[in-house]
Structure 1
Amino acid sequence: MTEVLREIGMIARALDSISNVEFKQYALTKGQYLYLVRICEHPGIIQEQLSKLVMVDRTTVIRAVQRLADHALIEKRPDETNKKIRRLYPTEKARLIYQRITAEEAYSNRVALAGMTPDQVAQLTTLLHQARTNVTADWERVKHGGHRDY
């Protein structure tokens, strides 16, 4: 049995742990920086779209978004056509933090990919994208009450 997913998991947990420590000064804990990044990159996004981008359930997104709003990092604004929908926008404070987060992300990429050739990085990117695409189908099915056949 290959241990690819275990390796990916260890990398993800290590980087997440580092980020949680480094971003604690901005009141970003437990991976909340992920939500902030996506909102900065997609101003006006709604929570359902954010859930799909980060691949977590809606309840988790709701809690994270509320915490970001409580810390004045995002604003919730009503949609112009459907007042029930709240669109999410980064504040100026969030935009400044976003610059720090993307610098950390670039550093982490350099560290993780050190010693790899550009072709290897491209191949790894392609393979990981394919793996994510494969998993996304199961994630969607299970999220909507389906089950996987083992």
Structure 2
Amino acid sequence: MPSINHHIMTIARSSNLFRSERLQGTGLCGPHCPYILRVCREPGTTQEAIARALCVNKSSVARQLASLEQSGFVERRPCPTDSRAMEVYPTQKAFDALPAVRAVLAEWNERITDGFSDEERALFAALAERAAANARAEIERIRGAEADG
């Protein structure tokens, strides 16, 4: 029997492919979506904060933001209070793309819960949220241990 992790990874990889397909012609691909959402929600957030919020490595954030910057979706500026940090700001192009990103994510949620009752959707969402919170807590524990020693 496949593990829960196998199912989660299948959903995640399929989600990236679905988003990339649906966003063709916009200049965005599937992996860009969480970055667009985060930067539009928190203009001026740092790359470090994005890495923590999305549970990804700083190098992954730098690569994705470089791609988004090159495509005109974000601007990176040095942080005035920390010369080592970069703040990230959405451009108008990012705000213009936001409705399409949200629509694709909503469509994906509908696709993966096709055939679920309303109660099953609510339960699935609640369980996924709890599992994500557990995963986030574990990553924070690991990152904290790495920083301590």
Counterpart position of 2:113: 113
TM-score (norm 1): 0.82
Q: Which amino acid aligns with 1:105?
A: L
Q: Deviations over 1:18-73 (max 9, x none)?
A: 21233242332361222112111222211111111211000110111122111111
Q: 1:2 to 1:90 in 2, by over 3 A?
A: same
SS of the residue corresponding to residue 88 of structure 2 reads strand
Structure 1: gaps spanning 5 or more residues: none
Return the offset for 1:2: 5.9
Q: Deviations over 1:128-147 (max 9, x none)?
A: 1221122223323444665x
Q: Percent same amino acid at aligned positions?
A: 25
Counterpart position of 2:19: 19
Structure 2: gaps spanning 5 or more residues: none
Asked whether the equivalents of residues 69 and 75 of structure 1 are also in contact (C-alpha less than 8 Å), the reply is yes
Return the offset for 1:107: 1.0
Q: 1:110 to 1:29 in 2, by over 3 A?
A: closer
Q: 1:6 to 1:109 in 2, by over 3 A?
A: same
TM-score (norm 2): 0.83
Larger RCO (CA under 8 A, 6+ residues apart): 2
Alignment of 1:54-133 (within 5 A): 54-79=54-79, 81-82=81-82, 84-133=84-133
Return the offset for 1:3: 2.5
Asked whether the equivalents of residues 40 and 94 of structure 1 are also in contact (C-alpha less than 8 Å), the reply is yes
Q: 1:144 to 1:81 in 2, by over 3 A?
A: closer
Is the aligned partner of 1:39 residue 2:39?
yes
